[in-house]
Amino acid sequence: MIIAVWIITFISEYLDSGLGMGYGTALAPLLILLGFEPAQVVPAVLISQLLTDIAACVVHHNFHNVDLKIYSKDFKIALIMGVVSSLGVFFSVLIALRIPAWVLTLYIGVLVLGMGVVILLTRNKNIRFSWGKILGISFLAAFNKGISGGGYGPLVMGGQVLSGVKANNAVGITAFAEAVTCLVGFIVYVLHGKNIEWRLIGLLVIAALPAVPIAALTVKYIPSEKLREYVGGFIMLLGALTLLKIR
C-alpha cells in the first residue's frame, strides 16, 4: 500500500504544481479507495499540500513562471486570494458535516466541468483582468477545499484564467493562495479535535516534494496559450470524474 500511496501522491503533485490543480481533487478520493477514512485524509491532504505549495511558490518564482516579490501584481493577487480563501475554508469546515456528500459532489462536479468548457471556448480570446471574479471564485474554491480536501485548484486556476490572468502566472499564484487556505483549514480541524494521522502526512510529503521542481520546469517551457488549453481540458476531466463519484 505504501508504494501505491507514493505513486499516486507523486503524480497528483506533479499535476498540481504543473497545472495548478489536481492534488487534493485526485488524491483524496484515491486515498479513501485505498482504505483510509475521510477524517484522516482531509487533514493529511491539507497539511501536506501546505508544505508542497510553499515549495512550489519558491520554485516557480525562481524559474520566473510567476513574480511573487512583495508589491508585484502576482503577489497582490495571491495574497488577497489567500485571505478570502481563508474565510471560505473556515466556514466550510464548520458546516462540513451538515451537507449530504452527494450534493457536494454534484455541486463541485458541475461547477468544475462547466468552468473547463468555458475556458476552452474562450481560449483564443483576450480577457480583461477582474478583481470581482478573483474574489468570488477564491471563496467558493476554499469552501470546497475545507469540506472535501479537493476542488480548490480547478476553480482557482479556472477563475484566474477567466479573470484575465495568464495560465503560467496562475499556477504560482494558486500555490501561494492554496498554502494559506490549507493552513487555516488544518488549524480549524485541529481545534475541533480531529485526530491527525501524522504517518500518512509524512508519507504524502516525502512522495510529493520531488515532483515540484519537475513540474515547475514543465511550466517554464510550455507557452501560456498552450498551457491554457491543457488547463481547460484537465479541468473538464476532473469535473467529469467528480460527477462519476456521485452515489
* pLDDT confidence band for 247 (50 / 70 / 90): low
Residues 83 and 180 sit within 8 Å (Cβ to Cβ): yes
Residue 97 has pLDDT above 60, yes or no: no
Residue tagged 468544475 (cell numbers):
112
Q: What is the pLDDT of residues 9-39, one digit of tens each?
A: 998 888 778 777 778 777 877 787 787 877 7
The predicted structure's pLDDT at residue 228? 67
Higher pLDDT, 10 or 61: 10
- pLDDT score, position 202: 92
Instruction: Please name the helix (run of DSSP H) or strand (run of DSSP E) that holds residue 67, with its range, or none.
Output: none
Q: What is the pLDDT of residues 142-175, one digit of tens each?
A: 777 676 666 677 777 777 877 778 877 888 888 8
Three-class SS state of 166? coil
Distance CA 171, CA 175 (A): 6
Q: What is the pLDDT of residue 205?
A: 93
Contacts of 62 (CB under 8 A, 6+ apart): none
Segment among 32-46, 52-66, 211-225, 230-244 with least mean pLDDT? 230-244
Task: Report d(CA 109, CA 164) in Å as an integer.
Answer: 23
pLDDT value of position 190: 80
Contact 235, 115 (CB under 8 A): yes
What confidence tens digit (pLDDT) does each residue in 172-212 have?
A: 888 888 888 888 878 877 887 667 888 999 999 999 999 99
The 10s digit of each residue's pLDDT in 218-235 is 877 877 667 767 777 776
Question: Taking a C-beta distance cutoff of 8 angstroms, is the pair 25, 150 a contact?
Answer: yes
* Amino acid code (one letter) for 229: E
CA distances from 96 to 3, 139, 144, 169, 181 (A): 31, 15, 10, 31, 16
Cβ–Cβ < 8 Å for 173, 80: no
